[in-house]
Amino acid sequence: MPAFEVELQDGLKHAVVSTAGPDRPGVSGVFFEVLARHGVQLLDVSQTDFRGQLNLAAFVGMDPLRLSDIERELRASLWDFAQRVTIETGQEVRAVSRPRSTHVVVALGNPVTAEQVSRLGATLARFGANIDRINGISDYPVTGLEFRVTLPNYTPGDGREIRRELAALSAELRVDLAMENAGLHRRAKRLVCFDCDSTLITGEVIEMLAAHAGKEDVVARVTERAMRGELDFEQSLRERVATLAGLDESVISEVAQAIQLTPGARTTIRTLKSMGYRTAVVSGGFIQVLSGLADELGLDYARANTLEIVDGKLTGRVVGTIVDRDAKAELLGEFAADSGLTMAQTVAVGDGANDISMLSSAGLGIAFNAKPALKEVADASVNFPFLDEVLYILGIPREEIDFANETAGISGRVALA
């Protein structure tokens, strides 16, 4: 990014004034009061509270003849606050704008170790990428760190090679690494669409239905082959549904009541909706099972296949258009258009080969505990069983999630097994 000189008032020189120590009320007020008495020009300010330790720094223009007085008064005024004051001047002070990071890398793990971060830093350095800033974004249910980095001579479309390196490093270190372009577009996402089985919920609905027909093993084998991309989805769906012929329709309600949401699903949907996101689910499963859950969660869109029922019995057939791999992508486009959004503003989350088209067409595709075929095309891949990780990849920190929960009177944290 090009640097530029910051304009100073006549007679002033650049300096960085900083103080560090316990975070106590009044430190900032006293700090700026002293600077104000000496006519200091503020050019940039950074203040952080890290685990009770305050770091406050100001990039300023000051009269060099007043430097000693400013330093003495700051130390005297902040003595009771146990602060350490420093002032830097001269050539070591860079009078340039803050860099605009080109990318964001999110690291998620349980645990995240210093060795993993060291390896990540070394990998980024091999590509000449500078780490501009590191922030903690999560301490539950996984540790999450967000790295803002700048790739040299970056132009849109760059970063493919480094993404491949990070994917390999992620598998080696057993820590999730997601890389996304930085900038306004990252915060412009407004629609998140989830696959259902093994993504929004923990099980496979067709297998749950098949268990009532005594055909669970048969269906599970066909499902696995389809999710690996070895079978045409429509053919495999019809083959699996055929095993349900003769089941009483009451089984649908039993299965719907037995559905288990993926850990973090409620928190994820609730947080997204509170922030103005639209939410959707598309499934190769069945709308009769899914509709109640979609209503309960307050999803904006829900689409799935329709089981044929005649005289209160499942016929072993589906009716209407099959929600397959291509249909999922088409439905995501329909949801976006209905919401007045572009595809670049969409996020898709899934786990199987039939989610490939949907994730590929979304602005951000996230593979959730996914099959290898999907990981190969996804923008990000998460491998811990918590749907909350989607929020962290979107840049939503845990503290904001917990605050939203507390405001709503909800306990968002539970003991982890």
131 three-class SS: strand
Contact yes or no for 39/100 (Cβ under 8 A): no
Task: Say which amino acid occupies 98.
Answer: R
Strand partners, 331: none
Distance CA 59, CA 47 (A): 12
Contact yes or no for 214/365 (Cβ under 8 A): no
**387 closest CA partner among 266, 280, 294, 297:** 266
Active site residue 232: no
- Catalytic residue, from 49, 80, 176, 197: name it: 197
Give 250: exposed, middle or buried? Use CB within 10 Å, 0-12, 13-18, 19+.
Answer: exposed
Bridge-based pairing of strands 103-109 and 176-181 is: antiparallel
Active site residue 132: no
DSSP of 258-279: H--BPTTHHHHHHHHHHTT-EE
**8 closest CA partner among 48, 43, 58:** 43
- Catalytic residue, from 195, 324, 351, 402: name it: 195
Strand partners, 196: none
Distance CA 389, CA 271 (A): 12
Alpha carbon of 18 to those of 46, 59, 79, 87: distances in Å? 9, 9, 14, 6
Contact yes or no for 210/219 (Cβ under 8 A): yes
**382 closest CA partner among 43, 138, 27, 46:** 138
Edge to edge, the sheet with strand 301-310 lists 313-319, 301-310, 278-286, 191-195, 346-350, 364-368, 380-382
**292 closest CA partner among 329, 324, 261:** 261
Q: Which residues are catalytic?
A: 195, 197
